[in-house]
Chains A and B, each alone.
Chain A
Amino acid sequence: MNAEADQGGGMDIPEEKLLWMYRTMVTTRKLYETMYEMYRHGSSLGNFVAGEGEEAIPAAICANLRREDSYKPNFRQTSCLFAKEGYELADVFSGNLFDAERGYLGFSLALGEDVGVYTGFALAAQMRKTGQVCVCTFGEGTASKGSIHEAMVIAAAWQLPIIFVLQNNQYCGGTRYSKVYRFDDLADRARGYGIPGRSVDGNDVLATYQVVREFVERARAGGGPGLIVAETYRLSPYFERAPGEVVIEEYRPEGELEEARERDPIPRFRATLADMGLLSDADVERIDREIETEIAHAMSDGRQRPRVDYEQYVQYAVAEL
């Protein structure tokens, strides 16, 4: 395959969409950096998760979705929702992304139980003949969960407009996927459900874009669900510990992380766009600065938005009954 075909051959993608995807990927990366700084300085609690190295996949997905469609990013990429039509950067800092109208139905930290919920969104779309589609992403670790199997069975049985995107970042916690899956191509699973399956280099945003487009168009036209396996690599640790906590990330073989950085999707796409004459060094510099300003504004906007207060939070519980 020549380099162009390898890059998805995506020459019918409008220039502005190419640049939008680039900006989206860079914004995603910079968001991780910003949020990690916030985390380190105590602005948020819990464990901080990031998906560095996996930015091409949400960009390729969001470039194919409409406002009314549904998208569930992988749990470590929830901040990518800013790229979904209907959402904006400030939403990411507002602490409240949930909005069925804009197609985000939350996620389950028990991992996997949310996939059936998104399948229900697709079911409602089919019942009401709205033409909406749903793209539901999960990792190769979550892919082992029984609930994912049930969701795929029902999606296939009813030919629901949902695309399952299995984002294989190689590691579930510290467990490499090859220790779990005794076959090479995870897209083979699709055959067992009788739905189309395709593996794609998830670090190649153009190739990923093309596959997502094909699957989304088919689902929108009533052609039913599909499984896309986007092969990528998690450059981030499984999660960042709070300051003072020890980070143990000894599960990667020596040199693997460095090698993976060579396949980082952002510099890779930057080089492609430069080859196409769409991006100069000056553009790269300018875009970086613009995005940093956008993030700073979004942070201050988002944090000024009204928070869910106690009364709102408890009003739907059957608290005293």
Chain B
Amino acid sequence: MAANPEAKVRMLDCGEAINAAFREEMRRDERVVMWGEDVITMESPTAGADLCTRGLFEEFGGDRIRDTPVVEAAIIETAIGAALAGLRPIAHVMTGGFQMGCFDPIFARLGTAYQEWKHPGSLPVVVMASVLGGAAKGADHALSPEALFMHSPGLKIAMPSTAYDTKGLLKTAIRDDFPVLFYTHREVMIREEKEPIPDEEYLIPFGKADVKRPGADVTIVTWSGMVLRALAAADELAGQGINAEVVDLRTLVPMDVDTIVASVKKTGRLLIVHEAMKRAGAAGEVAMRVTEAAPDVVRAMRTPIRRLAAKNVALPTSLRIERRLVPQVANIVATAEELVQESR
């Protein structure tokens, strides 16, 4: 139900926002089609929410939305072929970890083939998957694979942290003429708090970070589910008189370096936080992009850039262990405090 019908806003959770984005785009363009494992049957291609695809089969029929066998490679490869033939497929591969089973199709076919094949047209494929962090799901379900795919030359990568951003970015992804990897995060999908989503259509461009919380003392750059933890950490830090600015990158490729630089110019401190493992993780890329783009700003920083990310250990099926491997709210708080204290 809309909180305020006058404002034409409805309160939606992330699954409902995804459902709305799919429905609007499939109505708008009959070339938009989708398939994946249990896309129709379980209504939960991005595991963690129940409503992502509810009602789509009934409205659009079995030619445009299909359940596949367990064939991750073929899900991606058929999406490439169908896109080259003129459709705009959304290919669901349940989790980021399962994408290791179709690594070649994503990294090499989707990410490089259309350049290699000298195709002067387009390759409109959206690959959707979930990162199921924070629930001891183990590496196959909880892997956050963005750094692996950032290395492929032709893949855009979206990892939103709110229902509002998810809807706007997903619609942009579906209309993009080139491949997009779109990751939802379990902790975003299961949030009980609904968000006001305008009935009126809106699109969020790729490459625009969002300052989720302004602050003057330290910049925390993060994305996906980790934004929620960073915001919780910022609340705690505020109690200690430290005002953290939380920058949600929203898309890793393209990356909005300008917004990070503007924030660092203000705070003089930069902490990059992610759920994926630290070694060769995306935080290193963020740090170097900032350094290359604004060496003077980096030189004037109060303290060196710091990163906080998961230890280089396979994700366990024990929450007790996972909590010690992956950054928690308390770790973000402690690291931000250190940054501020060492450079007062």
Q: A124 with B86: in contact, given A100-B121, A147-B73, A153-B71 (CB under 8 Å)?
A: yes
CB distance from A205 to the nearest CB of B (A): 28
Contact B71 A121 (CB under 8 A): no
B253 within 8 A of A: yes
Which residue on B lies nearest to A115, using beta carbons? B77
Chain A proximity mask over B52-94: 1 for CB below 8 Å, otherwise 0: 0000000000011010110111111111111111110100000
Contact B81 A117 (CB under 8 A): yes
Chain A proximity mask over B152-191: 1 for CB below 8 Å, otherwise 0: 0111100000000000000000000010000000000000
Contact B76 A116 (CB under 8 A): yes
Contact B118 A313 (CB under 8 A): yes
Which residue on A lies nearest to B153, using beta carbons? A317
SS class, residues of chain A in contact with chain B:
helix
Contact A117 B87 (CB under 8 A): no
A105 / chain B contacts, CB cutoff of 8 Å: 80-81, 84, 117
Chain B proximity mask over A113-127: 1 for CB below 8 Å, otherwise 0: 111111111111111
A108 within 8 A of B: yes
Q: A127 with B154: in contact, given A116-B105, A118-B81, A150-B71 (CB under 8 Å)?
A: no
A318 within 8 A of B: yes
Segment of B106-114, B135-143, B226-234 engaged in the interface with chain A:
B106-114
Contact B178 A316 (CB under 8 A): yes
Contact A158 B153 (CB under 8 A): no
Instruction: Classify chain B: how many residues form its interface, as a range.
Output: 35 or more
Contact A127 B83 (CB under 8 A): no
Contact A316 B154 (CB under 8 A): yes
Complex Cα distance, B63 from A178, in Å, reads 41
Which residue on A lies nearest to B81, using beta carbons? A120
Total number of A residues with any Cβ neighbor in B under 8 Å: 40
B86 / chain A contacts, CB cutoff of 8 Å: 100, 124, 128
Complex Cα distance, B71 from A114, in Å, reads 15
B116 within 8 A of A: yes
Contact B153 A312 (CB under 8 A): no
CB distance from B183 to the nearest CB of A (A): 16
Contact B104 A154 (CB under 8 A): no
CB distance from B93 to the nearest CB of A (A): 12
CB distance from B122 to the nearest CB of A (A): 8
Which residue on B lies nearest to A152, using beta carbons? B74
Query: A121 touches which one: B72, B81, B117 (CB < 8 A)?
Result: B81
Contact A106 B254 (CB under 8 A): no
A147 / chain B contacts, CB cutoff of 8 Å: 73-74, 77, 104-105
B327 within 8 A of A: no
Contact A317 B154 (CB under 8 A): yes
Which residue on A lies nearest to B257, using beta carbons? A321
CB distance from A229 to the nearest CB of B (A): 21
Contact B71 A321 (CB under 8 A): no
Query: A154 touches which one: B71, B109, B114, B116 (CB < 8 A)?
Result: B71
Contact A321 B254 (CB under 8 A): yes
B104 / chain A contacts, CB cutoff of 8 Å: 110, 113, 147
B129 within 8 A of A: no
Query: A321 touches which one: B113, B120, B253 (CB < 8 A)?
Result: B253
B254 / chain A contacts, CB cutoff of 8 Å: 318, 321
Contact B85 A125 (CB under 8 A): yes
B89 / chain A contacts, CB cutoff of 8 Å: 120
A151 within 8 A of B: yes
Which residue, of A106, A314, A316, has the highest number of chain B Cβ atoms within 10 A? Answer: A316
B41 within 8 A of A: no
Complex Cα distance, B81 from A118, in Å, reads 6
Contact B118 A96 (CB under 8 A): yes
Contact B255 A120 (CB under 8 A): no
Complex Cα distance, B119 from A106, in Å, reads 9
A98 within 8 A of B: yes
Which residue, of A96, A125, A127, A151, has the highest number of chain B Cβ atoms within 10 A? Answer: A127
Contact A316 B115 (CB under 8 A): yes
Query: B108 touches which one: A110, A121, A316 (CB < 8 A)?
Result: A110
10 more A-B residue pairs beyond the given contacts A113-B104, A117-B109, A318-B253, with a C-beta to C-beta distance below 8 A: A98-B119, A108-B108, A110-B104, A113-B105, A114-B109, A120-B81, A120-B85, A125-B85, A147-B74, A153-B69
* A residues with CB within 8 A of B: 96, 98, 100, 105-106, 108, 110, 113-128, 146-147, 150-151, 153-154, 157-158, 308, 312-314, 316-319, 321
Q: List 24 A-B contacts (CB under 8 A).
A: A100-B84, A105-B81, A106-B116, A106-B117, A110-B108, A114-B77, A114-B109, A116-B78, A117-B109, A119-B74, A120-B83, A121-B82, A127-B63, A127-B87, A150-B71, A153-B69, A154-B69, A313-B115, A316-B114, A316-B119, A317-B153, A318-B153, A318-B155, A318-B254
5 nearest interchain CB pairs?
A120-B81, A116-B77, A321-B254, A120-B78, A124-B85
